[in-house]
Amino acid sequence: MRILLATDGSEYAKEAAAQCGELIVNLKDVIIKIITVSDYIVDFDSDAFVSEGEFVRLLEREIRKRSTNILGEAEKIVRYNNENVQIEKEFFIGTAKKLIVKEANKWKPDLIVVGSHGYGFWKRAMIGSVSDAVVHHAPCSVLVVRKK
């Protein structure tokens, strides 16, 4: 079984990782690919003015660092009861809605697992829901996990 776990490091995503780990406890031949998607909007510590090229390098370094941390934390959660599960990790820069579906089309999972942020009507109407977009455009089943 191939499972694509999309995470953003939020509490909702951690719950999705935990559910993913619970799903595979008694399964054999499972491969989990954990992905995170970051846009270019990232805070980083820099008081100095920097050139455009330097800014891009700092930004990409910060995105790589944060993404590595998010992926590592999700891996720990999934491995809690599944030490020997095969896990792949990758991060992307762009729009989560589009890139999760694009990766699913490329990697061909049997299941996608995502967290639900539980946005209310107005916030969901304004910014849209990543999980909703994935459910409607994914090439496979999608498990949307709510935070307990």
Q: Are 142 and 111 in contact (CB under 8 A)?
A: yes
How large is the angle between the packed helices 52-79 and 11-23, nearest 10 degrees? 40
Q: For 120-142, what is the mean pLDDT?
A: 77
Identity of residue 146: R
The pLDDT tens digits of the residues spanning 16-72 come to: 999 999 999 989 899 999 999 987 655 555 555 556 677 778 888 888 999 999 999
Which of these ranges, 6-15, 48-57, 86-95, has the smallest mean pLDDT? 48-57
Domain spanning 2-145: which CATH class is it, in words?
alpha beta
pLDDT tens-digit profile of 113-129?
A: 999 875 555 555 544 58
Residue 148: pLDDT band by 50, 70, 90 thresholds? Answer: confident
Work out the average pLDDT over 97-111. 97
> Which sequence spans correspond to the domains of the chain?
2-145
Q: What is the pLDDT of residue 61?
A: 87
The pLDDT, as a whole number, for residue 123 is 52
Whole-angstrom distance, CA of residue 126 vs CA of residue 104: 25
Higher pLDDT, 108 or 58: 108
